[in-house]
Amino acid sequence: MHTEEFRASLSEREPPAELPAALAALWWDAKGDWARAHGLVDELETPEGMAVHAYLHRKEGEAWNADYWYGRAGRGFHRATLEAEWEALVEGLLGH
């Protein structure tokens, strides 16, 4: 799947079944369902899942919690805007 296809899938009611949990979380986040997105990565012990988890807590406004998850993901940084971070996460998870 390419980024354009991922974005196009946002017009659907459910994410594509083949999406791994971290990408499905970003899909639900883009649809405005933070709680559902968080539920998908809350206990996902992969670097990718923890990076998405960090982004979600940053979006929530909990910088201290986001910093914790960035550290667990092995990342000490984030993008300047939430939109740029979302885009970078999607592209990275899709392998682009």
**pLDDT tens, position by position, 8-33:** 999 999 999 999 999 999 999 999 99
Please give the tally of structural domains in the chain.
1
Mean pLDDT of the chain: 93
Handedness of CA 3, 91, 78, 67 (dihedral sign): positive
Domain contains 59: yes
Domain contains 24: yes
pLDDT at 77 over 90: no
Domain contains 74: yes
pTM summary value: 0.93
User: Which range marks the domain in which residue 54 is found?
Assistant: 20-94
Task: Give me the percent of the chain exceeding a pLDDT of 70.
Answer: 98
Using alpha carbons only, give the angle 56, 23, 93 rounded to the nearest 5 degrees: 105
Domain contains 78: yes
Domain contains 75: yes
| Both tokens assigned to 29 | 């986040």
